[in-house]
Amino acid sequence: MEAVTKLDPVIDIRGLALSFEQNGQRTDVLRGLDLAVEQGEFIALVGASGVGKSTLLRVLMGLAAPTAGTVQVHPDPAAERPMALVFQDARLLPWRRVWSNVAFGLEKTSLNKAERRKRAMQALSVVGLADLAERWPWQLSGGQRQRVSLARALAVRPSILLMDEPFSALDVATREGLQDELIRVWRQMGKTIVFVTHDIDEAIYLADRIVALGGKPGEVKAVRTVDQPRPRKRGSIAMQDLAALVKADISAEGAPQRDDWVI
Ligand SMILES: Nc1ncnc2c1ncn2[C@@H]1O[C@H](COP(=O)(O)OP(=O)(O)OP(=O)(O)O)[C@@H](O)[C@H]1O
Ligand SMILES: [Mg+2]
């Protein structure tokens, strides 16, 4: 019989601990954190403010070093970069036009200016903003700015998209529009996404699995699988039930819930 070979997880975190030292004082932020993310998965990371969500993304990006444990990343070999990060605020450079902001991350590559512009235009088309390419950032709405920042991340062709509360500063209608947009982009491009959010409904609407961080130092309290077909129905009974479970995961004290629950 032929052996079934399972692909390595694209992200494999084992026993991750991280402490910050400041003025001789140690703060333990993360402890004993295990997480494996499969290629093409959409993971939502939820948890109270200060639990270490952004720190975990920084560790994945290689911007913060673990105190203990291992973090392995096995990016899709077809991708040009392992990862790109999208923040809560778009962080566009005001002196560059929209297309030039999107092309910014390509400047250290071997692509010439025409190729960079072409790549930027492709990424802008993916997020539906090609016709705004010549505008300045101040001529955009908040939602459009976030789409430009998503395009800038896509332009470098990463295997994994890390997103740190990218829609939390937007009004509900814009946020929901961008959630649908993101799902469309994700399905079209087959990327792995790790999406940090405070909004449990957003996590349930978007993700394949929801990872709840909790405790001090932070650890994985529960992992829940959202077994709902897409497009998902906002506010359905199944989604509300799951929201109640995730809310409890986040606030729960005591032993982590290690089972994979399916609704
Ligand atoms: N460079 C640093 N030096 C010292 N402590 C830090 C540093 N960066 C983060 N921390 C601390 O680590 C903890 C986790 O911070 P982090 O930003 O990861 O939280 P978070 O879960 O993203 O919170 P939020 O939901 O508010 O964004 C906090 O207590 C924070 O004060
Ligand atoms: Mg944060």
List the domain boundaries for the chain. 11-79+157-262, 93-155
Digitized pLDDT (tens) for each residue of the chain, 263 residues in all = 555 666 789 999 999 999 999 899 999 999 999 999 999 999 999 999 999 999 999 999 999 999 999 999 999 999 999 999 999 999 999 999 999 999 999 998 889 999 999 999 999 999 999 999 999 999 999 999 999 999 999 999 999 999 999 999 999 999 999 999 999 999 998 899 999 999 999 999 999 999 999 999 999 999 999 999 999 999 999 999 999 999 999 987 655 555 544 44
Record the pTM.
0.93
Going by alpha carbons, the residue nearest to atom 31 of ligand 1 is 50
Distance CA 97, CA 121 (A): 12
50 CB under 6 A from ligand 1? yes
Ligand 2: distance of its center to the CA of 54 in Å? 4
Atom of ligand 1 nearest to the CA of 47: 21
CATH number of 11-79+157-262: 3.40.50.300
**How would DSSP label each residue in 160-205?**
EEEEESTTTTS-HHHHHHHHHHHHHHHHHHT-EEEEE-S-HHHHHH
Query: Is 129:148 a contact under the CB 8 Å cutoff?
Result: yes
